[in-house]
Chains A and B, each alone.
Chain A
Amino acid sequence: MNAPANKFAAYICSGCGLGDVLKIAGLEKVAKTEGKMAVIKTHPFLCNAEGVKMIQDDIANDGVTHLCIAACSRRAKAEAFTFPTVAVARANLREGVTWIVAEGADHDEVRQEMAEDYVRMGCAEVKKLILPGGNKKESSSKKILVVGGGMSGMTAAQAAADAGYEVVLVEKTGALGGFANQMWKRMPFNAPHADAQPTGATELAAQVSANPKIKVYLNSTVAETAGAPGRFAIKIAQESGSISEELCGAIVQASGFSTYDITKLPELGGGQPNVVDQAGLEALAKAANGGPIKRADGKEVKSVVFVQCAGQRDDSGTHLPYCSGHCCGTSIKQATYFKDQNPDIDTAIIFDDLRVPGMGEDFYRSAQTKGVTFTKGKTSKVTGGESCSVTFKDLILDEENTIPADLVVLATGQVPNAGVELDDWTATVAAADNGDEAAKEKKTALQKISVLNMNYRQGPDIPQLKYGFADSHFICFPYETRRTGIYAAGPMRRPMDMHQATEDAVGATMKAIQAAENAALGRAAHPRAWDLSFPTARLEGCTQCKRCTVECPFGAIDEDERRFPLFNEERCRRCGTCMGACPVRVISFENYSCDTVGMQVKAVNVPDEDEEKPRILILACENDAYPALDMAGMQRLTYSAFVRVIPVRCLGSVNTIWITDALGAGYDGVMMMGCQKGENYQCHFVKGSEMAYYRLSKIGDTLKGMGLEPERMQTYEIAITDGARVAGLINEYVAQLVEMGPSPMKGFG
């Protein structure tokens, strides 16, 4: 191998006042004697063109391969300090030391010690870093599979084709159009948002069918999804029984919704004559074709009442607990079907909260202008029949009221068609494997409702977040599912109207394209889309415990025939949860491993008991907690100089060895800072922080075994905005540890 030998260099910045409060010579000495850096240079303004050029010259002319930049936080000056051909570690002397240690000569000693430790840690880390080479794939597919041919699916297919990508569109019925085919009109998409518009489904279906880039499979379902982004192997089962195979780069799932079963609402007249749901009203309007709307018995409707939130927002546990979002707008639209045809028809909408997101407010106003009556009330009883009646509590006038109507429309909710719920699947498969006959039948039934029939060990469909919807973090990454390269769009992701569904479809398609492109480049998908590293396992040390395969939030790891983990690199998000899970520490990334962190833990100079300087290790999630710590620095808040912070990709990547190593080496405590977990999770890897908390909840016994108090390890949920809070938490914890006294492990390390 004629790769050049590693050459390590440390660059220390004395700008931003660092040189005023730190002894730079001391830092240089640490880098030389302890860090063993071959090149050590100090610059008064390292991030300016001259400083950067100095580094570039050393890389080009002096053979430097590894850099430790001792300056500001890794989150600052990222552009200036990007050197793509070498491995880079950052020692955070500004946000991490000079900005947070109290001012004044009294603190000179601890400030200097803190800075020297960060230089030690940076030098230790960089020695273990390997520059990721990436894994480019020439044969990677960039074709987009769209599952579902409704408005969302058709829009997705069209958007992908417009962007120049080949598309395979699979639709289980005999025609494109989906639910829109049952509708008379849609809510307005455009200004002035005043009148219902034609759905446009027929035109879009014709456009999609005629597009040479889009291959449409009608009367077809996905029989199997195998592989990973860039190489999804899709089997498409056609009505004829034949199976087609397609190789795709990424998937948009747009499998739509079903309407909530109206007969589950007998108290609201569900199932009785002349009580219909919104889909039923669309059918009547379609039949009327612009003329007077007639009931099933042929009678012309002269008065109609819409009952909002029928079987929705139900907190009794009987019906849907959520709001479907579109139904207020839909009832407004349907009320105008009547008013536009004949302004004398009495149309009342009984609502609890009228929710018309987006430009729906204008549509609402337009319907008011047309004379639709809006009554704030809670409907308790509907009777159908020749003459219907609606009983409700008027919430403004605070009284019971009953009004007659020729027709009653119940605004029922959307039920997602997201496929199989995975916990149910896992339990069913386990029972079936144990020979349970009922479970075997159920398994077959579940396979029938599966949308993707994935052959992943984690189950056949994408995980559902809540109420059966395949949603994700609704602000940060709405279309991301927990299966890399598969994106959710439309009402199977969350309840929504047609306009939102079409926007959703375009968004999800763009993410799918990005995923296919990144897979081809060997790069990670969101949120580490620049990352060329990927996890490898030293299989000779593997005990086949399967923790990595179980804990991976993205189902990236299968098992091979020998039951060893089989990494699907393209499915991996590079969070490191597998690395944190591995009890024998055989999983690592080139630039993030048990060693890159472990050596930093070990590099810290832990003072003896009699020095009365406790040491606290902080493992901080780089997505929220580490920025929050930086923020504390930017706000010039002070926190204890006894802490040493190491950023981690996700709390899920924390291997317990780091904690036991630290405590064994005489650290007095460990603070673990991750994102909020649970229902309102903030974790960028969805389940990473939850996994970490689960694992760490079991570490108490280990600590007791070491003769340590369990309080020496604490976990915290930190949001990016928690700058002030995090400083307070550190100071509280340090005070608590001082109270507790030094670690009994000191001196044994």
Chain B
Amino acid sequence: MTKKQYAFYPGCSSQKGASAANYITSFGVICDKLDIQLNEIPDWNCCAASIGYAEGGELPRIVMGARNLALSDQHLPGQDIVSGCPACWLANREATERLQHSSSLMAEANEALKEVSLKLRTDFNTKSRHFTEVLIEDIGYAGMKAPVVKPLDGVKIAGYVGCQANRPYGIAGESFENPQYLDKMIETCGAEAVPYDQKVTCCGGALAFSEPDKAQALIQDIVGSAYDHGADLIVTPCPLCQANVEIYQSEINKKKGTKFNMPVVYYTQLLNVAYGGSIKEAGLDGQLIRAEKLEKIAGK
């Protein structure tokens, strides 16, 4: 069977030794089982994210994206550009749409791209997608369920979608206020999706760094609600959400006297374990707060 081919944009945090390294690790088994081939875009650069705005401004930010798009188009023509990180996905997709929408912006971007000897086709319109979209739209829930060999029976999970995996684009057909896809993926793995009222609450994003108290108040709600609804762990599609919600629990415990110790994993880690992946293959050894219930299943 021929594999489905995608241009892959990993993003900075997914590199080896970076904060979401285990996220990318967990893609391996999934791509094998679902016949997905991710082809890394050669010499990709940072997507510019949202937070670069102070120094970056509009055009430089979009040009950062345009370079990635042009590289992808040159080396991996016709392949949808896939990213695991919602911020990267958003930046790539926004760059595509903004350039498509304005011919003057396209002209300006191409003027800058000349400096790196690249050119973006004026009719460039290749889709930028999040990895969840590939799973949901190209594989489907039934397709995702097929390779499940170790259903995650009895694991209660709070599906934390967060912001940029949901807004402003989100997954087609989902609501911004109460998206269902993550819950459906949890159930596809055989686990139970608990009702969760902080599903789309902001974790503070990059401001968790600069405004720790304000962001940690949000994170406290996000983790607290998972406990309130009886979750064993939180699952998320976003590296920044994962990092913020996992890393700052100890800080919150110190400051607020809470006893948070809630594992925060990626949806890919759930699938990976359900597909029979080991602790290492699922990147579960990359957790600060170990997801014991998943490790137990993976270790069987």
Chain A directly contacts chain B within the complex, with at least one CB pair under 8 Å: no
Please report A residues at the B interface, Cβ cutoff 8 Å: none
Residues of chain B whose beta carbon lies under 8 Å from any beta carbon of chain A:
none
